[in-house]
Structure 1
């Protein structure tokens, strides 16, 4: 197995690890840090945009909020349970999938994951540029490269800097958006409904409720591919219950808050633009406060852009390693991040101006490709192998887990196909979704079919051979006697 260039990774230094194992001697960090990390990670403008949907379809504010609370609650459940994998395995999130899919069979979920990372990076770039455009005159051709370059620098420094920035931004965001939320609630509840605002005709709509519920759930399920990247440096004995709770609380609280704020803005402002809506409502407190809100949002966007670039690099390197062994060096990370940055810049420049419609389809596509993966991955970790893996074999493209693990690949593909009748996008509506008025419950089908099928196919898995490999793996990775 290749080793990193140096033996340590310390706060403030450039991270040395990438897709390799983090040994026990280098584990650090605190479980509670996961709370603010995922609060800020989810407290970004795309999250608020996800809350626009219910109101735009005629759902009242409170029904929209209810759909958001329920959807986020369900989606974050699956996302948070990935947190326990990081300290137990010491690996980034997606390379763990080799145990279920094989080093090459994992290419499909890897490709879908890179699509998620780059997609979010693009939407974050677009929104951040619009925010800065309220102050500075330069447009896309200047700010897109600058914003992406800053996010790449953050990602090059790596794990500890990302945690540090996310943690301290939490305090700023809570203060600024607490004031903004109070202003919005007081103003819109105490004044006549503006002409043309959706709230004037909103009420109960079952289809809109189900769409908002599914979108909220799918949005947080999409974060499943991130989680272990930021828990893998924690000590191996990090308490699972506290860790899962910290991740769940941070990710769910921020999503519910910001999506609900989005529902309020979309109900009382005709055709709201996320940047302009924040400035308009913020300036109700005093002229200029809206700009403060926007700038705080831009800082959060730049931070999560670093998170997305970092994850895309890790996943891309994992995919490449399945076909050609790579050395997990700093150079690999830098080159990978530059490639991610260039791709994101090109896509951002090509994306249509009506990005909100594109964003909703993007979230749904994430849901379709990632739900079967998260079902297989969680079932394997908690019910099949119960967290016991030969880590060194996972890191070998031709190790004992194989290049193509038929159980995981089969469960993934069958689950994906089972979801198709439930798809509901602007370009395709499945027959079941059409019968439900456009509501999309595909994630329920995907989770159930892929998870149960993988559990069934794994009933005769040879765990005895794997036990011996685990002992050898521990000696190889940690230098302990067998």
Structure 2
């Protein structure tokens, strides 16, 4: 059998023996980044639909949709951008197919692209540091809504109460992440239905107030219109590109699971609710002042339903951050930190909780974090481009046990632990993204020439993929047709 997870000793979980059934909901997951043997795999690809639907039946979708209208787009233009940007969920689905093929996490599979040592740097940046920022941002948004509800119900305004609410939301999230894969699969099936019902009710009230004849005060034309359309596309598409963890959730599926089914159910589960509720946000902005979305939506909802809506916002954040913290814990293991999965999850959770507390109770650092996240696509776009290209190059043939072999001279050691093709392709894509990006504090020279159009997402993604395909001969030789026993 392949390398076992350190959780078996550090977390005190007993390792399952060959022939036992797979992970069960309500039990601590015993696996981490280790190889999942075929006899422990179970489930069907269609179960991924609910897992990806629950995080994307989202209050954030309403806010982002409203932003499309606030940017000056017409309703038709906003809806077109929403659909186009969300099409990039297809790439999240493509990444997912490597999970069943390799039987391990995406943060380990990427060793094939960057080498054992090179991958540690990549995962630390794209799979851990950025995850902490996203956790803090999502928890902050949900906490503000929950604190507002507590005040409305008569709770006194107090930093202590605020801190308790923040920690409670974080704790609920970490419980989900700590219990792991099987619990996530079961719980999210329920959450996807419950959240959809609540947000459909919200959508009904929004539709009743929608101004179907809406026109922006000043119509956009020519270069200004294209700059806005491209900027809106980048905002929408940045969400699917931030989810490089789809292999982590698919790795328990049998190895012979059909790649089209794995990719399709993953992409569809995220695409449908994202399009629907982002569009609802755009519709809301035609008649409501969505510069303060929480107040605007609560203004049209009946008083009895507002607590239900806020609870749904909190549950959605738990679902969203539950996946993020789960994969961030696995990423920490893949970097080489010798901790079990549970402790790895708790560490990232404690760091992000501290960031959230500091943001809401001490100093508003979220402006700085939001500015940093404007540049996220410069990193996540090229990372996804390299990953998708690698799946194509090796025809999705991954050997999980070999990927877990970190010894010198192993298959994925390459040159001094670094795969030059992957690193070069990533850096080429990131540099292209920097040249083409347009943010509140930096506009690249290419973007300046194009009137401020933010082409960083598409340019970085495409360039990194093309460079990797051109340089990826080493990966073709390393590809195998069957994993080691």
Q: Is 2:206 the counterpart of 1:206?
A: no
Q: Is 2:115 the counterpart of 1:102?
A: yes
Matches within 5 A, 1:105-120: 105-110=118-123, 111-120=125-134
Aligned-residue RMSD, C-alpha: 2.4
Q: Is 2:454 the counterpart of 1:444?
A: no
Q: 1:341 aligns with which of 339, 349, 363?
A: 349
The 3 A distance-change label for structure 1 pair 347 and 356 is closer
Aligned residues: 452
**Cα separation, 1, equivalents of 2:475 and 2:220:** 52
Partner SS for 2:27: coil
Q: 1:215 aligns with which of 227, 235, 247?
A: 235
- The answer for the alignment partner of 1:478 in structure 2 is none
The 3 A distance-change label for structure 1 pair 87 and 460 is closer
Q: TM-score, normalised by structure 2?
A: 0.86
Deviations 1:163-185 (A, max 9, x none): 22211111122222222212212
**Cα separation, 2, equivalents of 1:242 and 1:151:** 29
**Cα separation, 2, equivalents of 1:46 and 1:108:** 30
Q: Is 2:412 the counterpart of 1:401?
A: yes
Deviations 1:163-217 (A, max 9, x none): 2221111112222222221221221327x98xxxx95556663322221111111
Q: CA deviation at 1:252?
A: 0.9
**Cα separation, 2, equivalents of 1:462 and 1:261:** 45
Q: CA deviation at 1:57?
A: 2.0
**Cα separation, 2, equivalents of 1:203 and 1:246:** 37
Does the aligned pair in 1 maintain the 2:59–2:313 contact within 8 Å? yes
Deviations 1:382-414 (A, max 9, x none): 2x2112233222112222211211111111111
Matches within 5 A, 1:461-480: 463=477, 467=480, 474-475=484-485
The unaligned stretches of length 5 or more in structure 1 are: 476-482
Matches within 5 A, 1:445-460: 445-459=459-473
- The answer for the alignment partner of 1:374 in structure 2 is 384
- The answer for the alignment partner of 1:480 in structure 2 is none
The 3 A distance-change label for structure 1 pair 267 and 362 is farther
Q: CA deviation at 1:18?
A: 0.7
Q: 2:279 aligns with which of 254, 260, 279?
A: 260
**Cα separation, 2, equivalents of 1:362 and 1:45:** 22
Partner SS for 2:116: coil
**Cα separation, 2, equivalents of 1:112 and 1:456:** 23
Matches within 5 A, 1:343-358: 343-351=351-359
Partner SS for 1:133: helix
- The answer for the alignment partner of 1:388 in structure 2 is 397
Partner SS for 1:81: helix
- The answer for the alignment partner of 2:202 in structure 1 is 180
Segment of structure 1 superposing worse, 15-24 or 448-457: 448-457
Partner SS for 1:105: helix
- The answer for the alignment partner of 1:298 in structure 2 is 314
- The answer for the alignment partner of 1:66 in structure 2 is 80
Does the aligned pair in 2 maintain the 1:218–1:363 contact within 8 Å? no
The 3 A distance-change label for structure 1 pair 122 and 202 is farther
